[in-house]
Amino acid sequence: MSMSVLDQPLVFVDIETNGLNHVRGRVIEVAAIRVEQGRIVREFRSLLDPGTPLPQFITGLTGISDQNLAGAPLFMAIAGELQDVMAGAIFVAHNVRFDYSFLKQEFKRVGRQFCPRQLCTMRLSRTLFPDQRSHKLQSLITRHDLQVSARHRAYDDAHALWQFLRHVQTVFPAETLGQAVARQLKQPSLPKALTPEMIAGLPEGTGVYIMYDKDGTPLYVGKSIHIRQRVLEHFMRDHDNVSEFKLSQNVHSITAQETAGELEALLLESQLVKELMPYHNKLLRRVNKLVVALRKYDGDGYARVGVELAPPDAITDSVNVLAVYDRRSKLRVSLETAARDWNLCPQLLGLEKPARSGPSGAARACFWSQLGKCHGACAGKETPGAYNARLELAFANKQLQPWPYAGPILVQEKTAATGNAPAGSPPNSGLIINNWCVVGKIRQEEGCEPVIEQRSLGFDLDSYNILKSYLTAKTDKLSVKVLAGPLFSYDAE
């Protein structure tokens, strides 16, 4: 070979697996072909015992059966030899992240590090043949007349990659091919459908990004103060995380929207997750009913906790609201924590069914009272005033806070460097917030009429928590103006 990059040792690798994800799945066959100076200098191939029976579809795909694997070595038995074959070489595979992820996990299980430089022949094909629609290995085999006797067997597929690289050397100038390879090696390994240009086109600053699959369906919505860097981090850690691995295998495009700062990014992320319902976002999802914990006083004056479901826009006026949750499981955890930390009665909290009165008519104490964990409010041994005060303290940080301003406010985020609004930002620009709801975004140039983008007026629990955090504990990061009269005029606070 005449190209300096490809003069380095290369190892062409392919694996077959038992069909599970790379964290729980196992390699059932591996092949590695080491090439130096254009010549095959060493080969390794082996079936491997995964420790569990093979799914039928894997046998149908590869032809490998449980009988074939009977007596095959465990990965730990061949790890040393395999790693020796690959030592110091560029790891070459088709959809390299797949093969690399499985082998990295296998080596990790036996206490070995595995971090080679990686070259993806699928991405190389996409770069060199941009007009071709398919870059699957079978497409390369057919298109370039590669000789393969047993598809979906590790050695034959690995050898096909070696043939492909030799073929493109005869088609492209050395400089063109060398640049394509070198460009891949200098950057983090990207998912197979993404190009370096897609990543380069992402903003470097603060905002929200959305990942889509091949059909344009949203997969994931995220926010970051460094969008491009954060997106790359998804693909750097996917080898150790099942969800990240699935995401990187399916993402086909990414869009991004810059924001004025982190607060706006957090609010926009929450809004988009609820609107788009992406598969990989488990938090911030839209709920039609919130779980509301209410204080309800019984005939003896004790505050009991009742539970109701309420639409998000119907809970802010209730003075009896103790706390609001997006699911019942969170409410139960909160009640159990309050009972444990504040010696509150499980009966009055609704965690334990009320005990029936004894023969004398006296109330029967809860089980925790017998253990000394409840002060006896359930049996009248503690005064309502003492018990109710402790209940209020337990939920003090969970109660919906009253809106601290007389009306709507205009919020503008400060830059970390100057402590002021971003340079060039019009003075009357920012988010309009009222009663813990983002009601609009305003932009007004000096001497011009304001441009107002109206937002949803509905209450959202996630937005409330974000805004409460910033307006109570992070005011140093904001410039807050109280709006007086029309939205485009205000009095400085």
- Band (pLDDT 50/70/90 cuts) for residue 491 is very low
> Taking 50 as the threshold, does the pLDDT of residue 424 lie above it?
no
Residue 79 lies in a domain: yes
Shared domain check, 484 and 344: no
Band (pLDDT 50/70/90 cuts) for residue 237 is: low
User: Distance between CA atoms of 455 and 254, rounded to whole angstroms?
Assistant: 24
Looking at the fold, whether 138 and 269 belong to one and the same domain comes out as no
Give CA separation, 134 vs 141, 157, 163, 249, 300, in Å: 11, 17, 18, 16, 75
**Boundary-marking domain end, from 337, 362, 394:** 394
For residues 239 and 352, state if they share a domain. Answer: no
| pLDDT given at position 449 | 67
* Inside any domain, residue 115: yes
179 & 203 share domain: no
pLDDT of 127-177, one tens digit each? 999 999 999 999 999 999 999 988 889 999 999 999 999 999 999 998 889
- Residue 32 in any domain: the answer is yes
Number of domains in the chain: 4
In the block, residue with structure tokens 């392919």: 14
- Which residues span the domain enclosing 81? 10-185
Of the listed ranges 50-64, 100-114, 187-201, 256-270, the least confidently predicted one is: 187-201
- The reply to whether 209 and 102 lie within a common domain is no
Return the beta strands (E) in 343-443 as ranges.
409-413, 430-434, 437-443
For residue 319, pLDDT beyond 80:
no
In a domain, 399, yes or no: no
Helix/strand/coil for 473: helix
Torsion, CA 398, CA 404, CA 409, CA 411, rounded to 10: -50
Share of the chain above pLDDT 70, in %: 87
> Kind of pairing, strands 437-443 and 430-434?
antiparallel
pLDDT at 471 over 80: yes
Together in a domain, 337 and 449:
no
Rounded CA-CA distance 5/27 in Å is 30
- The per-type count for the chain, helices as H runs and strands as E runs, is 17, 17
Instruction: Assign residue 205 the CATH number of its domain.
Output: 3.40.1440.10
Residue type, 149: S
Same domain, 150 and 260: no
Statement: residue 188 has pLDDT above 80: no
Q: Which of these three, 185, 212, 241, is where a domain ends?
A: 185
Q: 76 and 169: one domain?
A: yes
Residue 285 inside a domain? The answer is no
126 and 206 fall within a common domain: no
Q: Out of 187-191, 213-217, 332-336, 484-488, which region has the weakest mean confidence (pLDDT)?
A: 484-488
* Residues 40 and 157 placed together within one structural domain of the fold: yes
Q: Is 1 among the domain residues?
A: no
Q: Is 59 in the same domain as 137? A: yes
Average per-residue pLDDT for the chain: 85
Residue 46 has pLDDT above 90, yes or no: yes
Q: What is the pLDDT of residue 457?
A: 59
Sheet with 27-36, edge to edge strand ranges: 39-47, 27-36, 10-17, 90-93, 118-120
Residue where a domain stops, chosen among 223, 251, 276? 276
Could you read off the pLDDT of 13-37 as tens digits, one per residue?
Answer: 999 999 877 777 899 999 999 999 8
Structural domain contains residue 265 = yes
pLDDT of residue 352: 86
User: Does the pLDDT of residue 268 top 90, yes or no?
Assistant: yes
User: Do residues 79 and 166 share a domain?
Assistant: yes
Task: Kindly tell me if the per-residue pLDDT of 283 is higher than 70.
Answer: yes
How much is the pLDDT for 318?
Answer: 62
112 part of a folded domain = yes
Residue 128: which CATH number? 3.30.420.10
Asked whether the predicted pLDDT for residue 83 surpasses 60, the reply is yes
With 80 as the cut, is the pLDDT of residue 448 above it?
no
